[in-house]
Amino acid sequence: DEQADTWCGRDLMVLVSLIRADSGQGKLVSLLSRVYNHALWNRVTFWEEVLLIGLCEAHATEAVSRRSLPPGSLFTEPAMTAFLQRFLGYMMAFGISFDQARNSVWSTIRKHTTMLGSSCKPYANLLMQAYEEAARGPG
């Protein structure tokens, strides 16, 4: 947290839900339960920076994949990764409500309109799609 190392925070954020450890009492506990109360997860700037890293990562991945496509190929959807698809889920796993997460995503995307251009709204919609459907419930 003191070093403001967003990259390490991002990796930790993804890994903590995957790692389980022996509690010493014969029970397995999630690493998430051990780091849940860390101050890093309460920093708005952390979540903004992690989202920006994810967006840049998606664009870099798309740029690499374009090299194998014929010239003039069209991309109708914004660049997306599994990390971005799960981004709101990561936020909610660390205690951020759906409404707060949604507002944070919109705010961050608006801040980077110059970089994202016309894909701002499609990005926000894709990031929130699965979680909005879950929030609405069965239908």
- Predicted pLDDT at 103: 95
- pLDDT, mean of residues 40-57: 94
pLDDT of 49 > 80? The answer is yes
DSSP track, 78-95: ----HHHHTHHHHHHHTT
- pLDDT, mean of residues 77-88: 92
Which position has the token pair 């995307």?
109
- Predicted pLDDT at 29: 86
- Predicted pLDDT at 139: 57
Give the domain ranges of the chain: 43-136
Is there a contact between 109 and 124 (Cβ–Cβ < 8 Å)? yes
132: left (phi over 0), alpha (psi -120 to 50) or beta: alpha
Helix (H) or strand (E) holding 29, with range, is strand 28-30
Is there a contact between 88 and 131 (Cβ–Cβ < 8 Å)? yes
pLDDT of 102 > 90? The answer is yes
